[in-house]
Structure 1
């Protein structure tokens, strides 16, 4: 899907997803500014990075007046998720009564455990603080849109992988370890279906939402390549590398033990259900309205391996 050239966009966050959205926008000939806490990031020279701590302040009005679409791609470590509500409050305060569109990059936590495919019409069934935070934020965004205070759409993606993505289920504990011929660290049932989305596909879907006004007021599951088991995904990576995987798999008991010493592991217990039973995302709503252009996992895996290899080469040089 091609965006409207000449638009000016503001991407909130310079993490893996924010950077992928920035690259997609530039590819489509659009202008991009970005926001993070430091005002610095490794971006092309035509991209301005604005210093703004959205936990403490709103986006300056003079910036909002310049942009057509704001892409909210801010992610925080699990222990800091309590700040996400404050960030969204400040973003919406800046956008109230403007024509600027908000595209919020969300995950699938709000639905809680589900026994079937995940569709946009599911009720929210939070099972802990992280799932509750995501449900509350999404509800707030849609309510503000329905009240006419903002113009917004929500794009949801499952666990993503790809260039720059390190801290994820298919992050460095899989790609980096396999490149070094080490065992992959994974948790849950690796033989149950689980939807993984390539980060560039997630970014492309979000940009489509920002350029199509019929997306507004709705929640959309961004398309991904076919769902397969985690084991099958890891085997695809090994096929590209020409080696065989070995696994260190954490079950609930091991995760609990690790959580006694590691806060990040403690936080994972709440969403363990996503990896012990089928976690399959349905994106027919998006496909019917906007079409479906996804990267085959084989290509996505090759591009991800190349990124990790390039990073390793850079680290050796430095």
Structure 2
């Protein structure tokens, strides 16, 4: 279907990508319905807030009524992925289909596995671990739903996020410690180039996918800034705070030890390769089709720091 005057429904609106989506949609003057499992801070004026359990198919279907575009930004902790994500994906497909809405899916880069060069949308799916293999199967499910005419689907992928509400290594290991006056940490190598995606840029790209029929039925890498090293990112964060950088590297040994006491860290070891060697996302397909302006790293970091400080 072509976009009409229906709602832009954001599932998982209280997460990092979801919050950024709601803010961007409101900024563009769209009719927005923000759906989450819990109450949150006041949304922008005019946003309809709905509390619902995204794990319940009947509640998802109800929240997607009158939708023009459904943005699937909901997620669960790593340990729940195998049991929860396949069923969640099926219920979101069914809900968007019932509403005759376009489905835009927030995705990551896990399905590619270790790569010897920049990753494109056509890169082989070579994930060796269960998380990456699951993401590849979900991609197949979503694109099959599009091919069969159940629902129009566009998949938008980003790399590690930073920005307000980002639940990421960049936030937990760098920005939050820096704000507390502590030493920042970086996984793997401090000097391997790594693509970071600023959440407001990501949200803007997702809205482009939902409102352009040329995007439907395909996977898209959302424009992000040039890859940077952990060392550079940490320096920018401390620079925004007017402090000299303090940093350390977390290797496999330390991750293994920490994983004995923290299941989320233990689960994250599967994707540690992303930080041990260059991890670069090619976004030229999106840029050729829709353009690709992004927020410079220094400005994105400044905005993130300012937003976090305003909430303290």
Range of TM-score over shorter length: over 0.9
Counterpart contact for 2:6–2:66, Cα < 8 Å? no
Matches of residues 152-167 of structure 1 in structure 2 within 5 Å? 152-165=153-166, 167=167
Check if 1:64 corresponds to 2:64.
yes
Distance 2:190 2:163 in 1: 19
Check if 1:11 corresponds to 2:10.
yes
Matches of residues 175-186 of structure 1 in structure 2 within 5 Å? 175-186=175-186
- Structure 1 unaligned runs (5+)? 313-318
Corresponding position of 1:234: 234
Matches of residues 72-221 of structure 1 in structure 2 within 5 Å? 72-82=72-82, 83-96=84-97, 98-165=99-166, 167-221=167-221
Distance 1:41 1:239 in 2: 31
Distance 1:58 1:5 in 2: 24
Counterpart contact for 1:5–1:29, Cα < 8 Å? no
User: CA 1:181–1:98 in structure 2 vs 1: closer, same or farther (change >3 Å)?
Assistant: closer
Q: 1:45: how far off? A: 4.9
Check if 1:41 corresponds to 2:40.
yes
Matches of residues 228-307 of structure 1 in structure 2 within 5 Å? 228-307=228-307
Q: TM-score, normalised by structure 2?
A: 0.93
Distance 2:60 2:207 in 1: 23
Q: 1:241: how far off? A: 1.8
Q: 1:159: how far off? A: 0.3
Q: 1:60: how far off? A: 5.5
- Structure 2 unaligned runs (5+)? none
Q: 1:97: how far off? A: 5.7
Q: 1:63: how far off? A: 4.4
Equivalences, count:
307
Corresponding position of 1:316: none
Distance 2:51 2:283 in 1: 35
- Deviation by residue 1:135-166 (Cα, 9 ceiling, x = unmatched): 1111110011011111110000000101122x
Distance 1:45 1:216 in 2: 30
User: CA 1:254–1:216 in structure 2 vs 1: closer, same or farther (change >3 Å)?
Assistant: same
Q: 1:213: how far off? A: 0.6
Q: 1:10: how far off? A: 0.3
Q: CA RMSD in A?
A: 1.7
